[in-house]
Amino acid sequence: MAGRVITVTSGKGGVGKTTFSANVSAALAELGKKAVAVDTDVGLRNLDIVMGLENRIVYDLVDVVEGRCRLQKAIIRDKRIATLHMLPAAQTRDKTAVTPDAMEKICAELRSQFDFTIIDSPAGIEGGFQNAIAGADEVVIVSTPHVSSIRDADRVIGLLEAAEKQQIYLVINRLQAEMVRRGDMLDIPDILDILAIELLGTIPEDESIVVTSNRGELAALHATSPAGQEYKNIARRLLGEEVPMLPLEEDKGLFKWLARLFKGQ
């Protein structure tokens, strides 16, 4: 098997890398692909708790790197979807416990066993980021429509180009249709004009992301979650399907506009 290794990164913290990694891995697994989500945020691991797998960790990435266990032993198999897996980061170590060379070797092994290896990168552009991208075939950059996040995304694109990564895609997260409609949030064409990379998807602001992660559930597996649906669409696009981009609910209708006006919003 020659699977794909996709790193999820952003530069800025808190933009939704871990949520994206967890949900897109789950969506790919639900579509029948063998998927593994890998947490490379050594010292600040969170993919486990977002996926609801925090109580099942025995070995971690650093144990594999330092030869205390075989890769197979550290990978946790999800009980909800048989084809979904997770490789946790170590919590009591730091980023220097892993090297880009070690990650390349691990990625090569994962590539031979899984259709998709989704690597959740830490924030920042230092060692942890370098580890996360070392073995990547493709890179997804997650950015919110905020100036700080976009500026960091641009910086990361520059670093990825310097590292000769060819396939770089953008995901715009936490888009608020109402703010875009008012002209108070950068919209998709604005962001694409600035960053000039291929768009993989846009994810709407959605409370169900907080609710599902509170419970250790995955929004992508909930039919009623708008963000969850878009994670599924992104998984299908990664599989080569033509899925139209989520239209912004621009509720421009006169009725809705009048309703807003009289509600005093």
Partner 1 sequence: MGWLDKLMKHLSPESSGQHSKHAAKERLKLALTYDRGGLAQGTIEQLRDEITQVIARHLTIDEDEIDINFDRTSQEDKLIASIPLRMSPRTRTKVGQATAMAGKGPTPPHQD
**Shortest Å, Cβ 201 to partner 1:** 19
6, 136 contact by CB (below 8 A): yes
264 binds partner 1 (CB under 8 A): yes
184 binds partner 1 (CB under 8 A): yes
**Cα–Cα distance, 257 to 244 (Å, whole number):** 26
Q: Which is nearer to partner 1, 239 or 245 (CB)?
A: 245
Structure tokens at 228: 């969850």
Stretch that binds partner 1, among 103-111, 166-174, 229-237, 257-265 (CB under 8 A): 257-265
Q: Which is nearer to partner 1, 126 or 190 (CB)?
A: 190
198 binds partner 1 (CB under 8 A): no
242 binds partner 1 (CB under 8 A): no
249, 176 contact by CB (below 8 A): no
252 binds partner 1 (CB under 8 A): no
**Shortest Å, Cβ 220 to partner 1:** 29
- For residue 134, the number of C-alpha atoms closer than 13 Å in the C-beta half-sphere is 19
**Cα–Cα distance, 9 to 146 (Å, whole number):** 16
**Shortest Å, Cβ 183 to partner 1:** 3
**Shortest Å, Cβ 238 to partner 1:** 23
Q: Which is nearer to partner 1, 99 or 167 (CB)?
A: 167
One residue of 70, 155, 210, 256 binding partner 1 per CB under 8 A: 155
Within residues 40-99, the interface with partner 1 by CB under 8 A covers none
64, 74 contact by CB (below 8 A): yes
**Shortest Å, Cβ 255 to partner 1:** 15
Using N-to-C axis directions, what is the helix angle for 147-162 and 127-134, rounded to 10°? 60
Stretch that binds partner 1, among 54-62, 116-124, 185-193, 222-230 (CB under 8 A): 185-193
One residue of 1, 2, 166, 183 binding partner 1 per CB under 8 A: 183
122 contact partners, CB below 8 Å, separation of at least 6: 40, 41, 42, 44, 95, 128, 129, 132
Between the alpha carbon of residue 245 and those of residues 51, 140, 249, the distances in Å are 26, 16, 12
165, 135 contact by CB (below 8 A): no
**Shortest Å, Cβ 75 to partner 1:** 39
Local structure of 140: helix, strand or coil: strand
154 binds partner 1 (CB under 8 A): yes
Structure tokens at 173: 């997260």
Binding residues (CB under 8 A) for partner 1: these are 147, 150-151, 154-155, 158, 180, 182-187, 190, 192-194, 196, 261-262, 264
